[in-house]
Amino acid sequence: MEMAFHGIREVENYFAPLLHRFKTRSEWKQIHASVITHGLSQSSFIVTKMVDLCDKIGDIEYATRLFNHVSNPNVFLYNSIIRAYTHNSLYPSVIRIYKQMLANSLEFPDRFTFPFVFKSCASLGSCYLGKQVHGHLFKFGPNCHVVTENALIDMYMKFDGLDDAHKVFDEMSERDVISWNSLLSGHARLGRMKKAKALFDSMPEKTIVSWTAMISGYTGAGCYGEAMELFREMQLAGIDPDEISLISVLPSCAHLGSLELGKWIHIYAERKGFLRQTGVCNALIEMYSKCGMISQAIQLFDRMKGKDVISWSTMISGYAHHGNADGAIETFGGLQRAMVKPNGITFLGLLSACSHVGLWQQGLKYFDMMREDYLIEPKIEHYGCLIDVLARAGELERAVEVTKTMPMKPDSKIWGSLLSSCRARGNLEVALMAIDHLVELEPEDMGNYVLLSNIYADLGKWEEVSRLRKLIRKGNMKRTPGCSLIEVDNVVQEFVAGDDRKPFWTEICSVLQLFSAHQDQDQDVIENNITLASIEMVAF
């Protein structure tokens, strides 16, 4: 490649287009060799383009060698390598290069530098470093740019710095939809749904990201009805759901038992090709399992090709939810054969499955396997499941021993599980120990006292029963009301005991009374038939 050039700029202009024409790595190396031969290895202009190409083809090691060979990089080359490192999640390297840039008295960060540095600070979880870089933004004084400010809002939101994020947002001279979405997503992630809803309602433009952030926020906050309602509003607004929005709303369908909407999502996902996404399949499996359609969950699971640990764990939990310990254990065996490493959720499902059928020895085996074979430190939920396994199987002494040796303080669920098992076993000693802790943890929960009263009644201790009932009447205790759910025309209606504020409440009561009257008549008919049958037998 021998040619006569007049000046460095002419050489650069010649090589720049060639860098985009290579087809093989061999051609790339030939071009690089010519760049070096023509004295362009120190050209920030050419090396910047070469680093950008390395970023596109994923050869970060080559990009690093190119950058390190330049003695005095300019701001464009610094930005190029910082961008490449950020794209490849090499956040410590971004900070290192940024510090190197600050040490160079000739080059200063610009508005193209800061967004990637802010993202790196957020990903590293360093709020202190992020605030330092924010200070540099004022120091070097690049003109405020919406991309930079959006990155700053996103960083503060990831640090849960609501005040700092709002301050940046309020001072912005120009906002785009990303500015609004960043602030909205942060509030929704933290469960501040009233503020998130206010932002959502005041947004000048809403995208699928805006709707999904709200749906996900409502689901995460346990506001399942609101999540499903917003999902419908999104469709009415002409926004087609994507994979993320489906994954966000499906847990709400599962919790509310909205099988019809869940089935519609399944059909929609299949039509759009979303079932290739593991996350969508996992959410559908959970939905079917919790809605009582375990056969549908199994069918979907068996058809999946790219099962991850969440897929296996969700299926194991589904079997546990339906009391099928054999299915859960068999699925865990499949996970092991597939060489997938289980996590804490996997073992939580296994322990729960063992609990339902009293497989306490199997439960102990999995609990030890979790710690010893997979080095997973049990959380309070795992100890709770193990205690429940032992208590239900009548191994109350072992269960009590676990409560004494576990590294964290047992919660009300653990003591409640022990108390419930005491009634079946008639163990008053453990019941009194459990109630002592429950009184401390849940002093106003009437259910615990009622359960202890029943234990006394089973043991014939009527004086204690009378004493507890007087205590319940005098005390300021709460009783969790019963509720039921029904889905009509894709809308889930919740009925809570004692709540007469529902629409058509009077009409509902009238229908129930009608059913009750018919039931009484049917009962009279049944009793008459029994009497007649008895007379006929005597006569015979």
**Residues contacting 194, CB < 8 A, separation 6+:** none
pLDDT of residue 527: 44
**pLDDT score of 540 more than 60:** no
User: 32 pLDDT exceeds 50?
Assistant: yes
Residue 44 vs residue 215, higher pLDDT: 215
Q: Where are the domains of the chain?
A: 379-483, 500-539
Burial class (CB in 10 A: 0-12, 13-18, 19+), 71: exposed
Dist. CA 389–CA 409, nearest whole Å: 18
Say if residue 55's pLDDT is above 60. yes
Residues 6+ apart with CB under 8 A from 431: 418, 419, 422, 423, 452, 455
CB-based contact 345:353 (threshold 8 Å): no
Per-residue confidence (pLDDT) for residue 5, from 0 to 100: 41
* pLDDT value, residue 531: 37
**What 3-state class would DSSP assign to 523?**
helix
Dist. CA 485–CA 499, nearest whole Å: 14
Q: Using a pLDDT cut of 90, give the percent of the chain over it.
A: 53
CATH number for domain 379-483, candidates 3.60.20.10, 1.10.357.10, 3.30.230.10, 1.25.40.10: 1.25.40.10
Predicted confidence (pLDDT) per residue in 326-351, tens digit: 999 999 999 999 999 999 999 999 99
Residue 427, pLDDT above cutoff 60: yes
**Under 8 Å CB-to-CB from 459, ≥6 apart: which residues?**
426, 428
For 142-192, the pLDDT digits (tens) are: 667 899 999 999 999 999 888 999 999 998 888 999 999 999 999 999 999
pLDDT single digits (tens) 133-151: 999 988 876 667 899 999 9
The reported pTM is 0.76
Q: What is the pLDDT of residue 106?
A: 74
Q: Mean pLDDT over residues 276-291, rounded? A: 95
* Closest-CA residue to 329 (of 288, 271, 369, 292): 369
SS3 190: coil
Beta bridge partners of 493: 486
Distances (CA, A) of 44 to 99, 198, 342, 475: 19, 48, 48, 79
**Per-residue pLDDT averaged across 222-240, rounded?**
94
**pLDDT at position 535, please?**
29
**35 pLDDT exceeds 50?**
yes
Q: 193 versus 492: which is more confidently predicted?
A: 193
* Mean pLDDT computed over every residue of the chain: 83
Instruction: Average the pLDDT over 523-531 and give the result.
Output: 44
- Give the angle 159-163-166 at the CA atoms, nearest 5°: 100
d(CA 255, CA 317): 14
Q: What is the mean pLDDT of residues 64-93?
A: 93
Least confident of 2-6, 16-20, 197-201: 2-6
